[in-house]
Structure 1
Amino acid sequence: MADLTIRNLTITPLELVSVERFQGEKKRTGNVVSNVTGAITGFINATDFSAHHILPKGDSHDSRDVSFHLDPFRTVRTDVRSADPAGREVLRLTFRAGDRRYETDVPSPSRKSSVMKRIDGDDDVDDALDLTVVYVPTGAFLAIFSSAKLYAWMKQLDDAWPLPLLSIPGTHNSPTCHTALPSVRCQSVGVPEQLQNGVRFLDIRVSVNTDNDTLALVHSVFPVSLTSIKYFSDMVDDIYRFLDANPSETVLMSIKREGAGRGTDQHLSRYLKAGFVDKNADRWWTEPRIPTLGQARGRIIIVRRFGLDEEMARSCWDGRGWGIDGQHWPDNCEDGTCEGGHIRVQDFYDVTESQNIEKKIDYSRGQLERSAEREFHVIGPEHDHNPDPALLPIFVNFLSGSNFFNATCWPERIAAKVNPAIVEYLCIRHGEDGKGPNQLKVGAASTGIVVTDWVGANGDWDLIRCIVGWNARLQLP
C-alpha cells in the first residue's frame, strides 16, 4: 500500500501530529427495503449507492505521534502507510492549526467528504476553523479544503473580485430533475436544493410561443417532466426566495430557446424583459459586461444564448446590447470563444460512444488548466487589480455529454465517470504548475464555471465542495 499524501488547499498552515490505526467494520445503513430499492435504482441509473458505512472498531491497534508541516496550497508526501483499500482499516488523523486540534477518519464512513472534528475541548468556537477532507483512494491522497457554508459561500469573498476569477459550480439543464426520459433527465435534485448546496450557474432551456409569454422548461424538444409542465416563472420565484434569504450570493443564468414552440429569439428577449426584468429591475443584471462580485450580489445575471429583438438592441444600454452575449455559442467544442470575447467554453457534448467519455474527461481537465493559468493580483487595502477585469473571459466548462441512442452515454452514466475523475483532478493536480494536460504554469488557479450533471445524488456534493474550495487561493497574500 502507498504512503499517504496530503495537500493543504486552505490559507491556514496545518500540521499532522498524530496517526491512529483501527480495524474497519462495515455497518449497514437504512433498512432492507431502502437498501434493496437504492441498489436497484443505482444499478439502473448508474449513481453510486452504498448500503454500508466503514467505521473504526474498538481501540486503535497502532498509534504514533508525527510532525508533518502543511503550508497553504502545498503537498506533502508522508511516511504514513495509507488505509487498507478494501475497507478493513481506518486511519484517525489529528491535525493542529495554531492552538487548535482537529481529527478526521480516513476513509470517512460514507467514503464522501467529511468535516474535521475539533477536539481541543474549548467551548469558544469563534475562531475555530471548518475543514473538509476529501480522500482519493487512487494514489492514497488526502485533500483538505476550507468548509464553506455552501448556501452562502460568496459571503466571505471580496466585493472587488471579478466573476471570471471565481471558481463557480454550475449545473447543465438545471431543472431536469423530474420524472423524464433517462436521456432527458440530467439532475438528481431541483434548482432550490442546488442553490442551497452551492450551485451558482444555471443552464436553462425554454420553449417559446408566438401568442403568449408563458415559458415552459424543456431539454431539447422534450419537456423536463413527463407528469406536468414546469414553468420558467415558478423557477424564477424559487431563485428570488433564495437570493432574498442569501443577499450575498449571485446566480448566473444561461438562457437558451429550445422545444417545440414556434416563437423566435426575438419573442423570448421581449418576454424576458417585459415579464421579468422590467418588473423587478433590481433583481437582474442585464448590462452587457461582466460585473464584479460586489455589483452582482443579490442579482440574477443573464447570459444570453439567443438573439435580441431589434428595438432592444438599439435602445438597451445605449445600443450596446442586453445581457452577457453568448448568442453565437461554439458548437460541440473543446475550446471555443463566443463572439464579443466574454465567454470561453468547453462544450463537447456529443459523446457518441462510451469510449469518448475519456475524451470528455481530457477536454474538461484541459479547460480547468486554461482557467487556472490566468493571473490576478490583489494589492493593498484598496484591492487594485489588473485593469478592466470585464475584458477577461468567463471560462465555462461543461462536464456533461449525452447520446440519445446509446444508453451507456445517457447523462447520468457519463456523470458517474466524469464527476469522480474531476474531483480527483481538483484534489491532486489542479493548481500545480505543469501538472495539467498541457503542463501550463498556474496563475490564480480559478476553476472558472464548472457545469455538471447529477450532483447531489445520494447527498454527494463533493464535486461542488471541491470547486468552491478553490476560491481560497485568491485569499493568499
Structure 2
Amino acid sequence: MGNSQRKDADSTASPAVKNPDWMSSIPDGKYISELSIPGTHDSLSLYGGPFIQCQSWKLCSQYEAGIRFVDVRCRHFHNSLPIHHGVKYQYYFFDNVLDDTFHFLQQHPKETILMRVKEEYKAANNTEKFYETVFCYIKEVGPTQFWLHHRIPTLGQVRGKIIILQDYSGPTMGIPYESFCIADKYYLPTLFDMAQKWNSVEENLNSAQYGVCNKIYLTFCTGASWGAYPNAVADRINYRLYNYLESKGKKKIRWGIIALDFPGAELVQLIIYSN
C-alpha cells in the first residue's frame, strides 16, 4: 500500500473525510444491532512494523472519521492494562483509551462507542484477575458512563456512553462478545488465499442483511500471516468491499459491524450511508 490515501484504504495519518456526528440523525429507538457500524480491528496497533501494524489513524482520528467499533487488546501486567498487539506494546494504556474516547463523546454527545475489550499476550505479576482490573478502570471513570448490561440497547439508551463488548471471563460487564455472529478468518497463508477471505466476508454480510434484527453481526475484513501482511490484505479486501457496497446504490441495508485495517475515509462513509 505504501503511504497512500485512497477511497477504500488509507495509510496516512489523517482521514480525508470526517463525519463525527453521524449517529445524531438516527432515531433513539433504533437498536444497536439494527445499524451498519464502521469499525477497526486491533484499533491501537500503530507500531511494530508491517507485520504488526494494522492502523495509521490514531484513535481520535478514527472517531472523527466515523469509526464507532474499536477493538482494544490489553495485556494484564502488574495490575494495569497496557495496550498490546501480540508481544508488541503500543505505547498506550487502557486509561488513555478511555480518556480519548470520553473526550470525543463529550464533544459529540449523541454518538456511542462499541468497545471490544480483550486480553492479549502473557499476563505477568498480577494480584487481581483481568476482569477486576478492567472494572477498576471503569470504576475510576464512573460506571454510569458505560453500558455494562448483557442486553442490546437502543441508541437512545447509550448516547454519550461506551458499550463494553466483553471478550473476557468473569461477571457480566457488557454485551458478551461470544453472542455475536462473527466472521473472522484472520489467517491467510498467502495473498493467493484472498478469494477464501472475501467469501467469508461476503457470506457474513449477506447474513447480516437478512438475519434477525436482535443479533449483532460482526465481519472482520482483516487478516495476516508471514506471507500476507495486514496492509497487503487491506489493500485488496478493502477495495473489494468498497465496490461491493457501492454496487448496492443508495439502499438502506443493515450490515452490522464491519471491522477494517487501514480503512479509507470514503469506505467508512459508505458503511455509514447504509443506515
- The TM-score with structure 2 as length reference comes to 0.90
Answer yes or no: is the 8 Å Cα contact 2:185–2:220 preserved in 1: yes
SS at match of 1:355: helix
Matched, 1:413 2:232: yes
Aligned partners of 2:205 and 2:219 also within 8 Å: yes
Match of 2:84 in 1: 218
Check if 1:324 corresponds to 2:175.
yes
Corresponding position of 2:23: 154
CA distance in 1, matches of 2:239, 2:60: 24
Deviations 1:357-412 (A, max 9, x none): 12111211111111111476xxxxxxxxxxxxxxx210000001000x22xx1000
* Aligned-pair CA distance for 1:278: 5.4
Query: In the TM superposition, what are the counterparts of 1:130-209 in structure 2 within 5 Å?
Result: 150-178=19-47, 180-209=48-77
Q: How far, CA to CA, are the matches of 2:140 and 2:155 in structure 1? A: 22
Q: Which protein is bigger by CA-based radius of gyration? A: 1
| Whole-Å separation in 1 of the counterparts to 2:131 and 2:25 | 34
For 1:350, the equivalent position in structure 2 comes to 187
1:291 counterpart SS class: coil
Contact 1:206 1:217 (8 Å CA) reproduced: yes
Match of 1:424 in 2: 243
* Relative contact order higher in (CA < 8 Å, ≥ 6 apart): 2
Change (3 A) 1:230 1:359: same
Structure with greater helix percent: 2
Conserved 8 A contact 2:112-2:161: yes
Alpha-carbon distance in 2 for matches of 1:307, 1:430: 41
Q: The residue matched to 1:230 in structure 2 has which SS?
A: strand
- 2:260 and 2:7 map into 1 onto residues whose CA distance is 18
Say which of 452, 456, 463 aligns to 2:267: 463
Change in CA separation of 1:431 and 1:351 when aligned onto 2, cut-off 3 Å:
farther
Q: Could you list the per-position Cα deviations for residues 184-232 of structure 1 after superposition, in whole angstroms to 9, with x for gaps in the alignment?
A: 10001111000000000000111102xx3321100122223xxxx3211
- The CA distance in 1 between the partners of 2:160 and 2:192, in whole Å, is 42
Cα distance in 1 between the residues matched to 2:70 and 2:7: 25
Q: Percent identity?
A: 27
CA-CA distance at 1:464 after TM superposition: 0.2
Distance 2:235 2:81 in 1: 31
Equivalent in 196, 207, 214 of residue 370 of structure 1? 207
Residue 400 of structure 1 contacts residue 415 of structure 1 at CA under 8 Å; is this kept in 2?
yes
Deviation string for 1:41-81 (max 9, x for gaps)? xxxxx24748xxxxxxxxxxxxxxxxxxxxxxxxxxxxxxx
| Distance in 2 separating the partners of 1:257 and 1:416 | 28
The equivalent position to 1:246 in structure 2, one of 97, 108, 112, is 108
The equivalent residue for 2:198 is 361
Give the structure 2 partner of residue 400 of structure 1: 222
- In the alignment, residue 166 of structure 2 is paired with which amino acid? R
Q: Shift in Å at residue 445 of structure 1?
A: 2.0
Aligned-partner residue type, residue 469 of structure 1: Y
Aligned length: 267
Q: How does 1:270-285 map to 2 (within 5 A)?
A: 270-277=132-139, 279-285=141-147
Mapped contact 2:18–2:64 kept (Cα < 8 A): no
Q: Structure 1 residues 369, 263: closer, same or farther in 2, change over 3 A?
A: farther
Give the distance between the partners of 2:37 and 2:2, measured in 1 at CA: 23
Match of 1:268 among 103, 108, 130: 130
Q: Deviations over 1:220-255 (max 9, x none)?
A: 22223xxxx321111210001000000100000001
CA contact (8 A) 2:43 2:72 kept: yes
CA change 1:373–1:282 in 2 (3 A) is: same
Q: Deviations along 1:319-361, whole A, 9 cap, x unmatched? A: xx221112xxxxxxxxxxx3xxx31100000111111112111
Give the structure-1-normalised TM-score. Answer: 0.53
